[in-house]
Amino acid sequence: MTATLDTEGNLFAHLWEERAALVAGFIAQGERSLARVLGRLSDFERRHRLVLQREDGRLTGAASWIPQPPDPANRAFYPDGPATPEGTPLYAWAGLAGTLTIRPFHASYDHLIVPLARDLMRQRQFDAVVELGSGFGDKLFRLYLAGAPRTIPYFGAELWDSGRRLADRLAKLEPDMDFRGVTLDLLDPDLSILAPFKNVLLLSNGAFYCVPSLPRTTFQTLAGCAENVTGVHFEPVGHQVAKDKPYLAGYYATTITQRDFNQNMIPLLLAAERQRVLKVEFLAPDLSMISSGHPVSVAVWHSLGGAR
Amino acid sequence: MTDALRPETFLPHNEQNMFQYIWEHRLDLLNRILANGETNLARVLGLMAEFNRHHRLILETCDDPREGNGAQFLTGRAAWVRETPDPGNRAMFPDCPVTPEGVPLYSWAVVGGHPTIRPSHASYDHLAVPVILALTRQRRFDAFAELGSGFGEKLFRLYLAGAPRDVPYYGAELWEGGRLMADALASLEPGIDFHGVTFDMKAPDFSFLAPHKQVLLFSNAAIYAVPDLPPDFLDLLLDTCPAVTGVHFEFIGYQLGVTSAYVEEFNRRREERAYNRDFIGLLRQAEEKGRVTVEYLQPDLYCVSSAQPVTVIVWRKT
């Protein structure tokens, strides 16, 4: 892996590379089930941290997995909290709906986009599902394994070659799934491959936030990529809606600013609604916090006629 | 099951008998899913869970047909009724935002015995799986067994989450409907070494575990349904297995005398339904005899979607 600037986007290019090595190891051990490989990957990452070597504001390409007890930050939060025989804490903290609360330690909020998308798919018929910034296709695979329709294509749209390669490798474990990896740059999105479809479900999960400033016409492009488009976004962009949550003050002051997170997704979405390109059905800032510590906001919209 | 009522087949309305009919009706559901061409275990479990989330199984009950003493009986008839997930949630949070599909965004939850909230799409129903998976990273086991395994859901989820492939998974279940479902599901996943065995908590036969040296035995909402276990329940298990680790996710926190307003409300329900009364006592006796070490015991850790508070116990044979 060659050296790159230390940005959220570039960080993922390295992460997919390291995950690919893990997956190759699982497959070499005889794993043939997509669900098991995803499970083992999650389990491994729960107990290890990927340390990327940085020099002078650049990611050098060198990386290593460091073993660590799950959720080390939680121990600091509840230093005297009870622990399981395996040394994991009993409760973890969780930011929900603007308040700080607790959850059982083993309950993860990392994949909530999957059941929410499944609810949508029960109500509406889609003939294609696309994840924008899909990485290694984790969410698409989980959606399929949760019982989403078998007979439609699932497009994993990802900028980085390393993510697309890993997704292709995983998709081979599940030959019944119609998975298609495509190249997508959120700075210049080309979704012409979706033109033949009538009802498209677009997903993004922790992807838009990595692009500091999305093109002004992003939602016009997305809403016009097919006859009818429904968009679902799980992104840490709640700061663009309201910054009135005390427990997130530190997060806003450091992570978002220092890591150059996206600043214009929600304004662009609302502008597209004012232009009657789309209708925002649902916007919930800071729904829940995922294990990386990011508070995730949820937006659901559908295109209005004439977006094309 | 036919529509004609045959009172001689009615069963007393208790938690254990309810499961006979629950598995029968879920077996019908499973067969419909398989008839649609589904061949992937994870997908089938996902489709079943999703159906359950949007439907409620109503079991028909009636007064005692013979004695007329007010006791309730299960007739064997049942129907799935469609419902919006988490209907009780709206009443608790009248201003709770609702997704375009009519699902409340937040649901109530009980964590550590106290009411709180969770994202409504985040389920706590399968937390036994990551807890057991974590144990498998610390200790080596040569068999996994679930007591009262129903259709084997937790065992299958454990396997799909990445638990060891090269050991047998025993689904020990009383009711045939559950065992038939488990066998059908296991046939979808050739990699799992699954064995369904008939197991009655009231007359436990642990001999299926005899060939194994390091057993991980767990239960998830199974022991609570048996009002009184045999006094030698744990002795029989411990006499059979050279080494065994037990993990239990059960609605039995009230046996520990820990209480909260929420748990008090639940306690009224468990008295009406004759939940288990003696498991913690048996475990304590085994501990006093030096036969087991209780490594972890947390009453009412959290609440599952059926609103019942789950107590988590981990022990090992000394």
For residue A169, give both structure tokens. Answer: 């490798």
Cβ-based contacts under 8 A for chains A and B: 138
Of all residues in chain B, what percent carry a pLDDT higher than 70? 92
Q: What is the mean pLDDT of residues B54-61?
A: 91
Q: Residue A100 burial by CB count (10 A; 0-12/13-18/19+): exposed, middle or buried?
A: middle
Residue of B nearest to A98 (CA): B117
Question: pLDDT at position A21, please?
Answer: 95
> Which among B256, B300, B295, B245 has a CA at the least distance from the CA of B278?
B256
Which of B42, B47, B112 shows the shortest C-beta gap to A35?
A: B42
Which amino acid is located at B57 in the chain?
L
Band of the pLDDT at B12, cuts 50, 70, 90?
Answer: confident
Per-residue pLDDT tens digits for A193-247: 999 999 999 999 999 999 999 999 999 999 999 999 999 999 989 888 876 676 6
Q: Determine the distance in angstroms separating the CA of B110 from the nearest CA of chain A, rounded to an integer.
A: 9
* Minimal C-alpha gap between B222 and chain A (Å): 21
User: pTM for the full model?
Assistant: 0.92
What residues in A contact B40, CB-CB < 8 Å? 145, 174, 176
The C-alpha atoms of residue A163 and residue A166 are separated, in whole angstroms, by: 5
Query: What span, in angstroms and rounded, lies between the C-alpha atoms of B167 and B142?
Result: 5
- The answer to whether A147 contacts B133, with C-beta atoms less than 8 Å apart, is no
Tell me which of B200 and B111 has the higher pLDDT. Answer: B200
> Which of B44, B45, B101, B313 to mutate against chain A (most A CBs within 10 Å)?
B101
Q: How deeply is B312 buried, as exposed, middle or buried, from its count of CB atoms within 10 A (0-12, 13-18, 19+)?
A: buried
Of B41, B44, B116, the CB nearest to A102: B116
Tens-place pLDDT, residues B261-274: 667 777 777 777 78
In angstroms, the separation between the Cα of residue A59 and the nearest Cα of chain B is: 32
Interface probe for A, chosen from B127, B302, B310, B313 (most Cβ of A below 10 Å), is B302
Cα separation, B173 vs B277, whole angstroms: 20
Q: Does B55 touch chain A (CB under 8 A)?
A: no
What residues in B contact A89, CB-CB < 8 Å?
none
Chain A residues lying within 8 Å of B159, measured CB to CB: 36
Cβ contact A174–B40 (<8 Å): yes
CB-CB contact of A157 with A131 (8 Å)? yes
pLDDT, residue A76, reads: 58
What integer pLDDT is reported at residue A97 of this predicted model? 72
- CA-to-CA distance for A95 and A248, rounded, in angstroms? 9
CA B122 to chain A, closest CA, distance in angstroms equals: 6
pLDDT over 70 at B53, yes or no:
yes
At B130-156, the pLDDT tens digits run 989 989 988 999 999 999 999 999 999
Signed CA dihedral, A122, A43, B217, B122: sign only: negative
Check CB contact under 8 Å for A147 and B47.
yes
DSSP A110: T
Asked if the Cβ–Cβ distance from B122 to A97 is below 8 Å, we say no
pLDDT digits (tens, 9 = 90+) for B204-261: 999 999 999 999 999 999 999 999 999 999 999 999 999 999 999 999 988 988 667 6
Name the residue among B99, B109, B314 with its Cβ closest to that of A85.
B314
Chain B: residue whose CA lies nearest to A97: B106
Alpha helices in chain A (DSSP H): 8-28, 34-46, 72-77, 113-123, 138-145, 161-171, 218-223, 249-251, 257-258, 265-274
Q: Please report which confidence band the pLDDT of residue B1 belongs to, taking 50, 70 and 90 as the band edges.
A: very low
Q: What is the pLDDT of residue B223?
A: 96
A119, A122, A123, A296: best to mutate for the B interface, most B CBs within 10 A = A119
Q: Which of B105, B139, B220 to mutate to test the interface with A (most CBs of A within 10 A)?
A: B105
In this prediction, the residues of chain A whose per-residue pLDDT falls under 70 are 1, 71-81, 98, 243-244, 246-247, 291, 306-308
